[in-house]
Amino acid sequence: MMYWNGNKNSKGGEVMKRIGFIGLGVMGNSMAGHLLAAGHPLFVYTRTKEKAESLLERGAVWVDTPGELTKLVDVIITMIGYPTDVEEVYLGENGILANGEANLVAIDMTTSSPSLAKKIYDAAKVKGISILDAPVSGGDIGAQTAKLSIMVGGDEQTFVSMKPLFECMGTQVVYQGLAGSGQHTKMANQIALAGAMIGVCEAIVYAEKAGLDPAVVLKSISSGAAGSWAMSNLASRMLAGDFAPGFYIKHYIKDMTIALAEAEKMGILTPGLRTVKQMYEALAKSGRENDGTQALYTYWDRS
């Protein structure tokens, strides 16, 4: 294995942190790339090494396990799939907390469970490891352009020290509160997105059934009160039949499941979210779980 073994790089006189990045999927690859471009020595691990090739060609260093990664870096960032994956990477015997030492900072940018974020934070604190939960919004486009919205929970002092790293990946970086707050904020985001997605799809279907050109209709309504991120960024993909994933249906179902469970704990009724989740689950059962969320538009092909 090749390890970076020099002194910490500096850029403009600033000491650059050694970053470990776990998870190089649709969004993680771009996010890690921005950190590398900013001058940070980058060490990477993902289950499928081929996904790391473009970063390795640019100077990133491959590491075989999350546990090994903890020995080489100042900060670990994770961007993985499901809460079960997060639990394994952080709390497993070959994971971050079992192998990490005091003063390590770990940032989970996966959309995961608020209660799991708090559990990891508490376990890490015993070892002197700092944890932030920092899920993101903005999809593949936001990741590629470093314009993600990043919502952060954990100790504020840790957030302040890590903010320059977040600003390499996003433009809206907001501290939300104590551990789990970032994940709760992301749940609010996903609830709002559910309403926006079904609204965009129903508007397009209505326009089509009325004999209108939906692309022309969108020119009128996208800049008015009905406008939304989903309309501006995903409606054109729907009309073009482009359902490639910027954000997988299967991952959105995961997010909605978490949000519904948290809402139930708080005694909140979320009928809109429940309806949209059922629609996405129907699409997943039909084989579209690896499509992007804009494939909700195809639900009307089945009705």
Q: Which residues are catalytic?
A: 186
Q: Which DSSP helix (H) or strand (E) runs through 10?
A: strand 10-11
Write down the H helix ranges in the chain: 28-37, 53-57, 66-70, 83-91, 96-99, 114-127, 139-145, 156-169, 181-209, 214-221, 229-240, 249-265, 271-283
CB 57 within 8 Å of CB 29 = no
Residue type for position 238? M
Q: Which residue has the tokens 């994770």?
A: 78
Report how far apart the first and last C-alpha atoms of the chain are (Å, whole number).
54
Q: What single-letter DSSP state applies at residue 228?
A: -
Cα separation of 155 and 175, whole Å?
A: 9
Helix, strand, or coil (residue 13): coil
